[in-house]
Structure formats: structure tokens, C-alpha cells
Structure 1
Amino acid sequence: MRAFLTRHPRLAALIAQLGKFGSVGAVAYVVQLAATNLLWEAAGMDALPGQVLGTLVSIAVAFVGNRFWTFADRARTGYGRETLLFLAMNGVGLLIQLGCQAFSVYVLGFDDPVSRNIAGNVVGVALGTLFRFFSYRTWVFPERPAAEPGRPTAEEEPPARRP
């Protein structure tokens, strides 16, 4: 396997990135499960508001981990832009998750804690995670642009002199 990955460095980089993304996601997932279930059980919140607030807490954890670890080698396109796109992509991921939750509760009639967790925190999170990984790689934390032949990269370019 090592020889195969040596011959295919882009695949090796993707696998490493998936590992980091998965690690950050696992931590955020535990935070979400704890927050969501605490809101449902201890605070007595309904299914969807509890899911939204629990997910918002985990989004903050995921942003820090993904920006500063998973995609640390990617281009920096501005903290504000990255934050806005990250939140927008997580909004779509949350809608995917809530769609699964709503389908389970309002269409299938499964409104017990186990069903809520399966629909929102297993199926919804899995589908939302696939979308998030694709969107983070593509739009939120894009690859560094390739240097044009004869032009230095941003790291090689000397700082601008002031007159």
C-alpha cells in the first residue's frame, strides 16, 4: 500500500486530509451529540430546535479544527470569506440533517429519543458530512493557485517596498 501511495501522491494527500477531516468531525460529532441530547432531555426542547442549537455548537468546533488543521495547507482567502462560506455550507448541511429529522418525526411518526438520534445524528449527519467535505475542499478552503512559470509564488515573492 505504501508503494502505491508513493506513486500516487495526490491520493495520499486526499487520504491524509480525509483522516484529519474525520478526526475533527468526530470531535464535533461528540460535541453535537452531547449538546443535542442535553437540550432535548435536560432543557426539554423539541426535536428540531434542540437539533439546531446542538449543531451550531458543533459547527464552531469544526470551523476551528478544519481551518487550522485539516485545511491548514490550503490558500488563505480571508478570515471573513472563509467564515461566511463555512457557515453557509454548514447551513446546507444542517438543512440536510433537519430534512432527515423532519422526515422521521413528521412523516414516519418516530419521535422517541432513539429515532431522533438515528434520523438526525446518524443518517442526517452522514449525508451532511459528505456534502461538507466536498464543499470545504471546493469552495471554503480552495487549493493554492499554481504558480505561473517564471513568476514567484506568494511564499517566494519578496515583500513590497514602500516609497
Structure 2
Amino acid sequence: MPPALRPVLVRHKELVKFGFVGGTTFLVDNGVWYLLKLTILTEKPTTAKGIAILVATIVSYVLNREWSFRTRGGRERHHEAALFFLISGVAIVINLIPLLISRYVLDLEIPHVSLLVQEVADFTAGSVIGLLLAMAFRFWGFRRWVFPHGYSPDDATPLPVTGDTTAEHRP
């Protein structure tokens, strides 16, 4: 790793970890989506995408809780999980809006366009634009409500709110 980049990555390690989790869930999301879309849900691409996002959301919860935001939290797990899935539910809707617009407002589907144009439009709307919008919302929502700063996940007691970052790095 270039020495000039290391301090930036360390300073933004939660965001970097969140990005890695996002990359992993991107693969899960698209793998499940295309599996469903090209097999049992060929006539319902947005339903297939919604199911795929739900599967990826479950994977995301486990990875974010145990890795990205493991030094945050302090709530009971069921409360934290409920908030996580509430934020993720809103993010699913945000993620689906560009795909719905692409398919049903812009008519970028067969027979109005070729199969190639339909698939490129689906991927761009559902897995690029929708994903980026939902990811920004999730990062903000997770940090704000699900894994708030200032609590230790071990004992649910407030951590010091000073410039001292050593408390943030407790295992």
C-alpha cells in the first residue's frame, strides 16, 4: 500500500470496510438476481431483484455487524437487527426505483428494445444507479441509527467523546 494512501484508509476504515462488504453483497445480489431472472422469474425482473436484494441484505447484516461496525452499537441484538432491516427495507425501495423507471416508464424492455438493450438497462438501473443510491442511504442510516458511535458493543456503556480514538478500537 502506498505510504501516502495508508493514513487516509486508516482514518476512513469504516467506510473502506463498508465498501468491501458492499462489493461482496453486490456479487451476492447480482448472482441471485440473474439466477432468478433467467430461470424461474423471467417475467418478473423487479420481483427477482427484490428477492436478491433481500438475500444480500441478510449477508450484509452479518458482515457489517461482525466486521465493518463491530466497534459500534450497544443495543440489544434484536433491536439492532430490527433497525438494520428497517433501514435496509427503505434502501430496497430506493434500489428498485431506477429499475422500475427503466422498465415501466422508459419502456426499456422487450418488445420495445432488443434483449441486449433491456439487459444493459436493467443492470445499469438496478445494479449501478439503484445500488449507489441505496448504498449512500444505508451507510448514513447504519451509522446514524443502527450502529451509533459512542457505545461499546461489549457492555453498552458510553465511550469517551473526546479526541482520544483509542476507545474506538477496543475489540
Same fold (TM over 0.5): yes
Give, in angstroms, the shift of residue 110 of structure 1.
Answer: 1.1
Give the counterpart of 1:68 among 48, 66, 69: 66
Farther-moved stretch of structure 1 (64-73 vs 138-147): 138-147
Deviations 1:74-130 (A, max 9, x none): 132111111111111111111111111111111111122221111011100000000
Can you give the 5+ residue segments of structure 1 that lack an aligned partner in the other structure?
154-163
Aligned residue in 2 for 1:97: 95
Give the counterpart of 2:45 among 34, 43, 47: 47
1:1-163 → structure 2 map (5 Å cutoff): 14-45=11-42, 46-111=44-109, 112-144=118-150, 145-147=158-160
Aligned residue in 2 for 1:156: none
- SS of residue paired to 2:23: helix
Can you give the 5+ residue segments of structure 2 that lack an aligned partner in the other structure?
110-117, 151-157, 162-166
TM-score for the superposition, normalised by structure 2: 0.77
In structure 2, what residue type is equivalent to 1:132? R
- SS of residue paired to 1:74: coil
- SS of residue paired to 2:86: helix
- Give the aligned CA root-mean-square deviation in angstroms: 2.3
- SS of residue paired to 1:110: coil
- Determine the C-alpha separation between the residues in 1 that align with 2:73 and 2:23: 24
Deviations 1:113-157 (A, max 9, x none): 221111011100000000000100110001123449xxxx9xxxx
Higher-Rg structure is 1
Give, in angstroms, the shift of residue 47 of structure 1.
Answer: 1.5
- Residues paired across the two proteins, number: 146
In structure 1, what residue type is equivalent to 2:145? W
Runs of 4+, deviation exceeding 6 Å: 1-6
Are the structure 2 counterparts of residues 3 and 53 from structure 1 closer, same or farther at C-alpha, using a change threshold of 3 Å?
closer
- Determine the C-alpha separation between the residues in 2 that align with 1:75 and 1:120: 30
Q: Which has the higher contact order (CA 8 A, sep 6+)?
A: 2
TM-score for the superposition, normalised by structure 1: 0.81
Percent of aligned pairs sharing the same letter? 31
- Determine the C-alpha separation between the residues in 2 that align with 1:130 and 1:3: 26
In structure 2, what residue type is equivalent to 1:99? I
